[in-house]
Structure 1
Amino acid sequence: MALSTIISQDPDTFIAAFAGSIIFVVSAIDFAVWARLLLFAASMIVGLICSEFCAQVLSQLSHKLLGLVLNVPSGVGAVISAAVAVRLLMYLTTRPKKVGSIFDHRFSKGEK
């Protein structure tokens, strides 16, 4: 709670970003401990920074898709953005056995 006053975030947003980061760390058992700690920190930072944006996107999606007018709190946006951010980055940089990474496929077309 003391860190949330230093960072000037709402306590619920800070706790939600922490929870989203914990969700990531618990599910990422295929990484070393030091890598999980670094990814935890990145997930926490993204959760804090993108909480308002993600909450607004969720509000708009609920209105467009379901016809519901919802005011999604920033804490929900923090959980979603913290849990999804690093997973999305990991998805973009993984190398499947035969296909390769999305980045490799895009940038290596000219090279043979």
Structure 2
Amino acid sequence: MTPLNIINGPKPSQVAMIMALSTIIGHDPDTFIAAFAGSIIFVVSAADFAIWARILLFGASMIVGLTCADFCAQVLSLLSGKLFGLTLDVPPGVGAVIGAAAAVRLLMYLSTRPKKVGSIFDRHFRKDEK
């Protein structure tokens, strides 16, 4: 793979497409299908957005689901052991569904700004501004 030349390199859209394709290609088909299903679940539950926003959020949800599939599966395995005393080996496909359905919604929740309180990021990382 050739190194990126910032000045004369490929356009950002080409880099984004290459990164998205490398994310998709590097996973098993069952993980891909599970991330797709989780993205569909997210888009169906995101009826409060315009159609173009839902399309963009679908893509983001799909990429996040593929990227964090193993992490979410490990967290689910750990939680099943801690909460229920069960030793489960959660497959990455289940992690992809959970990650794709929840990650974008979680990030949107953390970045919302209620009128009186502000976002969670504002409360913890910014000092009082008036």
1:99 maps onto 2:99 in alignment: no
1:75 partner amino acid: G
Structure number with bigger Rg: 2
Residue 31 of structure 2 corresponds to residue 13 of structure 1: yes
State the one-letter code of the partner of 2:27.
Answer: Q
Partner of 1:73: 91
Instruction: Give 4+ residue runs of structure 1 displaced > 6 Å after superposition.
Output: none
Q: Deviations over 1:29-59 (max 9, x none)?
A: 1111111111111100010011011101111
Alignment CA distance shift 1:107-1:55 (3 Å):
closer
Structure 1 residue 28 corresponds to structure 2 residue 49: no
RCO comparison, higher one (Cα < 8 Å, 6+): 1
Q: CA separation in 2, counterparts of 1:44 and 1:52?
A: 14
Shift of 1:107: 4.6
Aligned-partner residue type, residue 52 of structure 2 = W
Name the counterpart of 2:70. 52
Compute the TM-score of the two structures, normalised by the length of structure 1: 0.87
Superposed CA deviations along residues 47-103 of structure 1, whole A, max 9, x for unmatched, are: 001101110111111112211111111110000000110011110111223222223
Displacement after TM superposition at 1:105 (Å): 3.2
Question: What is the distance in 2 between the residues matched to 1:48 and 1:108?
Answer: 32
Cα distance in 1 for partners of 2:75, 2:127 equals: 35
Q: CA RMSD in A?
A: 1.9
Unaligned runs of 5+ residues in structure 2 are: 1-20
Q: What percentage of residue pairs aligned between the two structures are identical? A: 80
TM-score calculated relative to the size of structure 2 = 0.76
**2-side partners of 1:98 and 1:9: how far apart?**
43
Whole-angstrom distance in 2 between the partners of 1:19 and 1:97: 34
- How has the CA–CA distance of structure 1 residues 52 and 110 changed in structure 2, closer, same or farther, with 3 Å as cutoff? same
Partners of 1:108 and 1:59 in 2: CA distance: 35
- Give the count of matched residue pairs: 109
